[in-house]
Chains A and B, each alone.
Chain A
């Protein structure tokens, strides 16, 4: 079974809107939560990551919100742009562990 559950599977947002992607995990030993962005024909690339000692991390238009008690974290993309159209993966692992578990992915389309 997937240890990291991601929703929605696909998302369509108008330019300038807010895109929100949610993830939930089960393993309480996870303590590193990255988000990866993947464009068609390319490999995933790290976008932003958070550790559970903070509830929010912001980098430009991208924000991770983290709720340790609910075992949930989410990615918010503010002022979404057509160039943000890609597939986004959440992931989780123990900090010093090579076994990273990925969500199923969300295909984001930002309409002009």
Chain B
């Protein structure tokens, strides 16, 4: 059981380039998330999708777009990368809200924008 799988693991971008982070979960979860982790800032929610076909902004959505491709997959796109987007990105998922808010995280994607 893979859980939450995200790719790529590492990426270096030049300022202004675009890229998409891919995420898939095999736990049949309705909700999926993208977080970024920065030193001293903890984990901050970029976007989330409560169910297939819906997406909502989190705490730090500027500079990002997302697509909930189907129930399993949720991608994060950087249209024009900036050095401020250098971070570790985590995709996550959670089940029915009535069963609790346990969020399961992927292993992270390390992105450097130069």
Contacts and interface: CB of A to CB of B under 8 A. Distances in A.
Given A34-B101, A43-B105, A102 B43 contact: yes
A43 B108 CA distance: 6
Among B35, B41, B43, the most chain A Cβ lie within 10 Å of the Cβ of: B43
A105 B97 contact: no
Nearest to B102: A46
Contact of A42 (B41, B59, B94, B107): B107
Interface string A95-111: 11111111111000000
A38 to B, nearest CB: 8
Given A32-B101, A34-B101, A9 B108 contact: no
A102 B44 contact: yes
Given A49-B102, A96-B97, A44 B43 contact: yes
Interface in A50-93: 89, 91, 93
A6 interface: yes
A46 B58 CA distance: 21
B101 A95 contact: yes
B53 interface: no
A28 interface: no
Interface residues of B, number: 29
A98 B56 contact: yes
Interface string B79-99: 000000000001010100110
A75 to B, nearest CB: 15
Nearest to A2: B42
A42 B56 contact: no
A41 interface: yes
- State the 5 A-B residue pairs at the shortest beta-carbon distance, nearest first: A43-B105, A102-B42, A102-B43, A104-B42, A96-B97
Interface of A: 2, 4, 6, 9, 32, 34, 41-46, 49, 89, 91, 93, 95-105
